[in-house]
């Protein structure tokens, strides 16, 4: 696709996918406009404050941000590393603590320490652990190589890596307890092990084992990306939702906003959920089979999040994350709760994330934010109090506990246009790999997709997808010269 005379690009959505794609294209000489329906850019990358305390949303910790590691290399290339101050986790030997009814397991930094912890916890399963670590180290090598920059799809990933984690763990003869420990990382990307390709599971786990980091208090990842984009001549327009993407003869011509503004552009990047992009297109713009394929994609579950204020003297900063995990007799994980306690002066913020339990919120699914009334607020309060009761079993009595905020799958749906409040976009499951493949490309010339649904969720997965989207727009040769060779 020859874009040498077409420099205007519109990016719809300003989450990490939209902003990273915008920075890449602006750095290659395009005139980039990012349109955001909310008052502030950032999507789920942006946190917020309640009672003067910071409440995180989608960025609780980052993996592979050490010098020379994959996310750091991405941030370096995008020009945002120096503006994102972080602190390293795992210095006490723990990044994540998994708490089951009958087992506590600590996830450390590093492949070798992780293998040692597995062997100490499961001394009767040495061969199983050897097989697991072999696949995990392959994933680490693949992730560090960044060969996806030079190839289509997942590059040199081995076919074994596309089997489900459940199939692999069962084939290795893993016990239910070991399956439970190994199944937790699948929850990070919203896919249970019985459906999760080993590739995605192992890439996520490997990135955090390389090194894990938290963004320092008062630092905004969003602001770093925005400053970088603006330094390259790009612009962001907020409170401008998209009414439609203009298409003529299956060729993009620009966008029309809800306020009536029209922006001409031969290239449009939809960095929101693919189904939302599809709804912006005229019926005749795409073939029925393409519309059916996108409309039929299954999405990951929604998230319920509770933020609370605690007395820091009784509940100081905990330098690692805690997971309280349910496990059945087969090693499957029907639900888990994620806890983070971060000190902020004389107060600490307790954040609890768990599955959204869609049936609870179905009563309000046809309403929008601000329309739900006191019974919705009461339902949120009830869920928060139930979670506090369980949290007290881990942290002891919650001293000075005051509820700051609760957000539900409906909140996520309304905020970032995610159908059903899906927290991690399209499900990257084994039975949906083909239908979800190469979502960066659309059947409309000049229309491309970005965001966590196009390749993989999480900061790393989303930025990987942004590089792939830039590759499609620039063409392989120009991408190789301007971007890939810089790595």
Using one digit for the tens of pLDDT, what is the confidence trace for 58-77?
Answer: 999 999 999 999 999 999 99
Taking 90 as the threshold, does the pLDDT of residue 147 lie above it?
Answer: no
Measured CA to CA in angstroms, residue 155 lies from 129, 207, 436, 468 at distances of 26, 17, 16, 12
Taking 50 as the threshold, does the pLDDT of residue 2 lie above it?
Answer: no
- Last residue of a domain, which of 390, 420, 450? 420
Taking 90 as the threshold, does the pLDDT of residue 103 lie above it?
Answer: yes
Taking 90 as the threshold, does the pLDDT of residue 241 lie above it?
Answer: yes
Q: In this structure, what token pair is assigned to residue 177? A: 């307890």
Same domain, 292 and 235: yes
- At 486 the pLDDT is 83
Same domain, 48 and 93: no
Same domain, 400 and 317: yes
- In a domain, residue 471? The reply is yes
- Last residue of a domain, which of 391, 420, 449? 420
Query: What average pLDDT score do residues 196-208 get?
Result: 92
Same domain, 199 and 209: yes
Same domain, 405 and 382: yes
- Last residue of a domain, which of 375, 391, 420? 420
251 membership: H or E segment, kind and range: strand 251-257
Using one digit for the tens of pLDDT, what is the confidence trace for 276-304?
Answer: 999 999 999 988 888 888 899 999 989 99
- In a domain, residue 181? The reply is yes
Same domain, 305 and 403: yes
Please tell me the total count of domains within the chain.
3
Same domain, 253 and 333: no
- At 151 the pLDDT is 66
Query: What average pLDDT score do residues 451-460 get?
Result: 89
Taking 50 as the threshold, does the pLDDT of residue 24 lie above it?
Answer: yes
Same domain, 188 and 249: no
- At 420 the pLDDT is 87
Domain at 454, CATH number: 3.50.50.60
Work out the pLDDT band at 192, boundaries 50, 70, 90: confident
- At 308 the pLDDT is 98
Q: Give me the domain span that covers residue 378.
A: 299-420
12 membership: H or E segment, kind and range: strand 8-12
- At 1 the pLDDT is 43
Taking 50 as the threshold, does the pLDDT of residue 33 lie above it?
Answer: yes
Measured CA to CA in angstroms, residue 459 lies from 31, 44, 104, 272, 382 at distances of 25, 11, 28, 15, 32
Query: What average pLDDT score do residues 335-343 get?
Result: 96
Taking 60 as the threshold, does the pLDDT of residue 86 lie above it?
Answer: yes
Query: What average pLDDT score do residues 336-348 get?
Result: 96
Closest CA to 12 of 31, 30, 34: 34
The dihedrals phi and psi of 427, each to the nearest 5 degrees, come to -70, 125
- In a domain, residue 68? The reply is no
Same domain, 292 and 440: yes
Taking 60 as the threshold, does the pLDDT of residue 202 lie above it?
Answer: yes
Q: Please report which residue ranges of 362-402 form alpha helices under DSSP H.
A: 373-395
Same domain, 120 and 198: yes
**Share above pLDDT 90 across residues of the chain, in percent, rounded to a whole number:** 77
Same domain, 103 and 158: yes
Mean pLDDT taken over the chain: 92
Contact predicate 164/155, CB 8 Å: no
Give strand pairing partners of 99. 104, 324
Q: In this structure, what token pair is assigned to residue 245? A: 């993407």
Q: Is the dihedral of CA 246, 262, 20, 368 positive or negative?
A: negative
Same domain, 306 and 412: yes
- In a domain, residue 430? The reply is no
- In a domain, residue 427? The reply is no
Taking 50 as the threshold, does the pLDDT of residue 457 lie above it?
Answer: yes
Query: What average pLDDT score do residues 413-438 get?
Result: 86
């Amino acid at each position: 696709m020859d874009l040498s005379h077409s420099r205007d690009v519109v990016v719809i959505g300003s989450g990490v996918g939209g902003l990273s794609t915008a920075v890449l294209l602006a750095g290659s000489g395009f005139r980039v406009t990012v349109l955001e329906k909310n008052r502030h850019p950032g999507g789920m990358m942006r946190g917020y404050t309640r009672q003067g305390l910071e409440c995180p949303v989608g960025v609780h910790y980052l993996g592979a941000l050490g010098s020379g590691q994959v996310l750091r290399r991405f941030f370096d290339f995008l020009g945002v590393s120096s503006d994102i101050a972080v602190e390293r986790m795992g210095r006490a030997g723990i990044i994540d603590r998994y708490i089951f009814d009958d087992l506590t397991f600590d996830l450390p930094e590093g492949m070798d320490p992780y293998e040692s912890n597995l062997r100490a916890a499961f001394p009767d399963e040495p061969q199983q652990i050897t097989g697991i670590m072999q696949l995990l180290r392959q994933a680490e090598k693949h992730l560090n190589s960044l060969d996806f920059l030079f190839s289509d799809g997942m590059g040199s990933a081995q076919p074994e890596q596309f089997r489900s984690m459940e199939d692999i763990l069962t084939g290795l003869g893993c016990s239910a307890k070991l399956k439970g420990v190994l199944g937790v990382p699948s929850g990070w990307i919203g896919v249970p092990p019985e459906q999760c390709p080993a590739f995605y599971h192992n890439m996520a786990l490997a990135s955090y084992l390389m090194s894990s980091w938290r963004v320092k208090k008062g630092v905004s990842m969003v602001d770093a990306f925005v400053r970088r984009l603006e330094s390259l001549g790009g612009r962001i327009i907020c409170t401008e939702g998209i009414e439609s993407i203009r298409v003529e003869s299956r060729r993009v011509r620009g966008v029309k906003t809800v306020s009536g503004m029209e922006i001409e552009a031969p290239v449009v990047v939809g960095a929101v959920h693919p189904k939302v992009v599809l709804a912006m297109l005229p019926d005749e713009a795409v073939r029925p089979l393409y519309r059916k394929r996108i409309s039929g994609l299954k999405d990951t579950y929604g998230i319920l999040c509770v933020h609370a204020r605690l007395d820091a003297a009784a509940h100081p900063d905990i330098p690692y994350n805690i997971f309280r995990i349910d496990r059945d007799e087969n090693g499957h994980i029907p639900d888990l709760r994620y806890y983070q306690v971060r000190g902020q002066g004389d107060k600490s913020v307790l954040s609890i994330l768990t599955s959204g339990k869609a049936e609870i919120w179905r009563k309000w699914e046809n309403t929008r934010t601000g329309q739900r009334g006191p019974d919705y607020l009461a339902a949120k309060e009830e869920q928060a109090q139930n979670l506090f009761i369980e949290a007290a079993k881990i942290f002891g009595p919650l001293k000075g506990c005051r509820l700051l905020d609760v957000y539900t799958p409906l909140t996520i749906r309304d905020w970032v246009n995610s159908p059903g409040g899906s927290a991690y976009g399209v499900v990257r499951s084994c039975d949906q790999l083909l239908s979800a493949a190469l979502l960066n490309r659309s059947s409309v010339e000049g229309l491309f997709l970005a965001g966590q649904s196009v390749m993989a969720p999480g900061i790393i997965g989303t930025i990987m997808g942004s590089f792939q989207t830039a590759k499609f727009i620039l063409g392989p040769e120009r991408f190789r010269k301007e971007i890939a060779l810089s790595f």
